[in-house]
Amino acid sequence: MTEILRPDQVRDRYGRLFCKGFFTIVDEKNGIAQVIERCIARGPPEWDAVNRKRAGGVVRDVRVDGHTLVMDTVIGEGELSFGPVTKDLGGQGLKSLIIEGDHVVTTWVGLAGASVGIGACIPQAPEVISTAYPDDFKIGGAHRAEVQVRSPKMVRVVIGADDTDTKEKGASWSLMMRLGQDCPVGRFLDHKIIQLNPLVPNKTTNCCSTAISFAVEERKVPELVDFAKEYLREHTYSDDTVMTVFKGLTIPPELEDFGWRSKSIIFTIDDALDAAAASGVEVHEVTGPKGTIGAVAAIGCFDMGLRSAGLPQDFE
């Protein structure tokens, strides 16, 4: 018989553990998902990353950023293969990621000590709805454990902005960071400062735009967008602020190309609007149109890592 426990019930049974965040973000159009876990230390995410990538299943890529583990997966089921790892050494893998209505159900397998992570740690995360345990579940020791974790189905929303400051006051990167912290809708995930062409004549000082990302339930996306737009309208110093919005886990290649070329080419507003329309990016004129180019480019560069903050000559 399967036992269903809430996070507080798992905590009462096993004691308080270490998972501080668990987000299941899906991109159904492309058949992919992303699982993000936040821990209190770096060691567990690093060990989990190596073991989950080795095991395969539905995992396609794993990376660790500080205390946060990010897994790129497919939506569906996959075979686990622990390779040289045996139950005496431990191992961990993600067997499946399935969408059920507004929920995501992930099936995890843990061997030996790794069963603590998937059986007691992840299930305590505040975002988790419930965890299903089989009647033969045993944690730790030389045991194989399998659980199903149910969590909200979320989507990634990237919000770009440019032209929120003047030569006398303000900074777009700071305003967007405050927006992410103050937003009551969804979970603030990331913040990027996008270096653009410094030879552009109409700029403040550094010619940078900014973008931030959220994990949010799909039904709440309009609420998130409305909050962000009004927040920018209230706090901007510029008469030409523009906000852009993109939903999904994969930035289209043509949009990345526009973002990258914005670091060395002087585009027109129409060029940016064409790139946005071709890539599914919403453009919101908050106080005026001049920030359009930088706001579109900010989304195009969002997943470029260090390249987002630099210029082409920095990577030659």
301: pLDDT confidence band, cut at 50, 70 and 90?
Answer: very high
Complete domains list, the chain, with CATH: 3-153 (no CATH), 163-315 (3.30.70.2200)
pLDDT reading at 176 higher than 90: yes
Mean pLDDT of 191-201: 90
Q: Percentage helix, strand, coil, to 5, in the chain?
A: 30, 35, 35
For 99-129, give one letter per residue: b (16+ CB within 10 A) or e.
eeeeebbbbbbbbbbbbbbbbbbbbbbebbe
The tens digit of pLDDT for each residue in 61-81 reads 999 999 999 999 999 999 998
With 0-12 CB in 10 A as exposed, 13-18 as middle and 19+ as buried, what is 21? middle
204: pLDDT confidence band, cut at 50, 70 and 90?
Answer: low
* Per-residue confidence (pLDDT) for residue 85, from 0 to 100: 55
pLDDT reading at 203 higher than 60: no
Which of residues 173 and 91 earns the better pLDDT score?
A: 173
For 206-241, give one letter per residue: b (16+ CB within 10 A) or e.
ebbbbbbbbbbbeebbeebbebbbebbeeebbbebb
* Per-residue confidence (pLDDT) for residue 200, from 0 to 100: 78
What's the one-letter identity of residue 11? R
How many whole angstroms separate alpha carbon 117 and alpha carbon 46? 13
Mean pLDDT of 112-134: 91
* Per-residue confidence (pLDDT) for residue 114, from 0 to 100: 75
Q: What is the pTM of this model?
A: 0.93
89: pLDDT confidence band, cut at 50, 70 and 90?
Answer: low
**Per-residue tokens: 47:** 């060990």
pLDDT reading at 24 higher than 70: yes
**Per-residue tokens: 118:** 């998937």
* Per-residue confidence (pLDDT) for residue 185, from 0 to 100: 98
Mean pLDDT of 284-307: 96
Please provide the average confidence, as pLDDT, over all residues in the chain. Answer: 92
Question: Which helix H or strand E contains 258, and what residues bound it?
Answer: helix 253-261
Beta-bridge partner residues of 284: 243
Which of residues 45 and 89 earns the better pLDDT score?
A: 45
Mean pLDDT of 41-61: 93
Contact by Cβ (8 Å): 25, 154: yes
In this structure, what DSSP letter does residue 56 have? B
With pLDDT > 70 as the criterion, what percentage of the chain qualifies? 94
Mean pLDDT of 5-11: 97
Handedness of CA 181, 6, 128, 119 (dihedral sign): positive
The tens digit of pLDDT for each residue in 251-278 reads 999 999 999 999 999 999 999 999 999 9
The torsion angles phi and psi of 176, rounded to 5 degrees, stand at -70, -35
How many whole angstroms separate alpha carbon 57 and alpha carbon 54? 9
- Three-state DSSP at 17 gives coil
Question: Which helix H or strand E contains 222, and what residues bound it?
Answer: helix 221-235
